[in-house]
Amino acid sequence: MRHLILGSGIAGLQAARAIRSAQPEAAITMLGREPDPLYARPMISHLLEGSVQPSQLELGLPPEVRLISQDEAVAVDAADKTVATQQGRKLAYDRLLIATGADPRGIGAQNTDLENIHFMRTKVQVRDMLEALPGSRRALVLGGGLVGFKAAYGFLRQGLEVTMLIRSEYPLSQQVDPITGGLVRAKLQENGLDVLVGRDVARFEEDGSGRVRGAELTDGTVLDCDVAVVGKGVLPVTGFLQGSGVDVDLGVLVDEEMRTSARDVFAAGDVAEHFDLARDERWVNAIWPEAADQGRIAGLNMTGVPARYPGSLSRNTIRIFDLDLTTCGLVNPPADSGYEILREEDPGRGTYRRLVFLGDRLVGAACVNRIEHAGVLRSLIGSRTPVPCPREDLLRESVHPGGLFPFSR
Ligand SMILES: Cc1cc2nc3c(=O)[nH]c(=O)nc-3n(C[C@H](O)[C@H](O)[C@H](O)COP(=O)(O)OP(=O)(O)OC[C@H]3O[C@@H](n4cnc5c(N)ncnc54)[C@H](O)[C@@H]3O)c2cc1C
């Protein structure tokens, strides 16, 4: 059996591991666009900080996997069961996995091609940032999401002055509510980060030698900067699938075995669009644990070992200086849509908890500085079962997690 994996990220790696464990003799080929050996992508910001060496990020491959790097798939012929690559290869497969991940979203500003304006998705991009660092003093970070945070933190650790520019009214607006966002913003500012909200870059300005020297914002403000990072979210890499017969919405549509609409073609990771357990609809949750899980399940099904993926859940736990934040599910539901919200805030202690319910189910949670029982909240959201206790109990500090599950009472 010939397995072909497009993409050398965690979804591809987990698939390769699962295939190798189920089929020790199978031929596995992995095609990857990047020059580096496989690595832990979420940790590239630690390279920017200078707190790890590049080799510490490396992930090994299972035995006898043929890795073709620095080449990329440009077309899939699902009828002929072949993949054409940029460098003219034609790779045949019996089972194909699309695990091409996501690319950063571009922005509409003028002059984004100036030197020292970066995305932060790959090791190569972080290397470029580090090379330019000795000549940099003021960093501009576009976007108040995870990547924006990590870039800003890395620059601060390198001694740069940092401005974070957020189009919405508060950081992490895709994941949290305004109160949580306000607490995060205050923490960033308390630690020396200049945070500007409700604005975007209209155009970057050049220093005369092709390098960025500033940015004009949509409200006319002009900021100095000699390095900029764009962290405005990601989009699944699906362009090469046009005309392939593989159905794509925002991501590649998959069923619970991670099968696509084309025979013997599977998809997993940031590129895949599955079902979101909290939102009750198809969604792309571009996070590491889901990519890893989906890759493993796709790999098993590629070998004929049945495995089912129940659906994905947006979630994150992050420490922002000394503020601990954990979020899960749908924290910021649309207004007037039947969701009910419970919250508790203690400004003196800097704690806050917000719980979102739909009918008898918990569908979202955000906890600031009181992240105990976050795992319990997560499993309640993921299990999609009715909350087995008075809802207010989930706000309390004293509640015993065992009491939240009927079977453990
Ligand atoms: C700075 C940063 C911080 C992050 N922090 C977190 C975090 O704290 N928690 C969390 O859960 N997630 C985090 N993430 C997201 C996480 O890294 C991704 O969800 C995860 O890497 C997705 O894995 P993947 O294998 O689906 O895709 P990817 O890791 O994107 O791997 C896909 C690979 O396929 C390659 N490729 C693309 N197109 C082609 C093609 N046509 N042919 C061949 N190869 C191709 C790509 O170059 C890439 O190497 C972070 C991401 C970044 C960038």
pTM above 0.75, yes or no: yes
Share of the chain above pLDDT 70, in %: 97
What is the reported pLDDT for 336?
Answer: 80
What is the reported pLDDT for 400?
Answer: 59
Please give the full DSSP string across 270-338, using - where no structure is assigned: GGEEEEETTTTEEE----HHHHHHHHHHHHHHHTT-------B--EEEEEETTEEEEEEE-SSPPTTSS
- Which atom belonging to ligand 1 lies closest to the Cα atom of 44? 1
What is the reported pLDDT for 405?
Answer: 54
Give mean pLDDT, residues 168-193: 93
Checking if the pLDDT of 406 tops 50, the result is: no
Give mean pLDDT, residues 241-253: 97
Q: Give the pLDDT band of residue 403 (cuts 50, 70, 90).
A: low
What is the reported pLDDT for 337?
Answer: 83
Checking if the pLDDT of 397 tops 80, the result is: no
Checking if the pLDDT of 407 tops 50, the result is: no
- Which atom belonging to ligand 1 lies closest to the Cα atom of 103? 30
What is the reported pLDDT for 382?
Answer: 95
Out of 283, 288, 319, 328, mutate this one to test ligand 1's pocket (max ligand atoms within 8 Å of CB): namely 288
Give mean pLDDT, residues 329-358: 93
User: Who's near 319: CB < 8 A, 6+ residues apart?
Assistant: 325
Q: Give the pLDDT band of residue 372 (cuts 50, 70, 90).
A: confident
What is the reported pLDDT for 401?
Answer: 58
- Which atom belonging to ligand 1 lies closest to the Cα atom of 121? 53
Checking if the pLDDT of 398 tops 70, the result is: no
**Residue minimizing CA distance to atom 26 of ligand 1:** 269
What's the gap in Å between 290 CA and the centre of ligand 1? 11
What is the reported pLDDT for 203?
Answer: 98
Checking if the pLDDT of 81 tops 70, the result is: yes
Condensed to tens digits (0 to 9), the pLDDT of residues 98-155 reads 999 999 999 999 999 999 999 999 999 999 999 999 989 999 999 999 999 999 999 9
What is the reported pLDDT for 308?
Answer: 98
What's the gap in Å between 81 CA and the centre of ligand 1? 25
What is the reported pLDDT for 408?
Answer: 39
Per residue in 181-202, is it b (16+ CB within 10 Å) or e — as a string? bebbbebbeeeebbbbbeebbb
What's the gap in Å between 87 CA and the centre of ligand 1? 22
- In terms of C-beta density within 10 A (0-12 exposed, 13-18 middle, 19 or more buried), how is residue 338 classed? exposed
What's the gap in Å between 294 CA and the centre of ligand 1? 13
Give mean pLDDT, residues 7-21: 98
What's the gap in Å between 10 CA and the centre of ligand 1? 7
Lowest mean pLDDT among 178-182, 229-233, 398-402: 398-402
What is the reported pLDDT for 409?
Answer: 34
Which residues does residue 227 pair with via DSSP β-bridges, in sequence order? 139
3-39-143 Cα angle (round to 5): 115
Which residues does residue 206 pair with via DSSP β-bridges, in sequence order? 212
Give mean pLDDT, residues 252-259: 98
Domains, the chain = 2-103+235-302 (3.50.50.60), 117-230 (3.50.50.60), 322-408 (3.30.390.30)
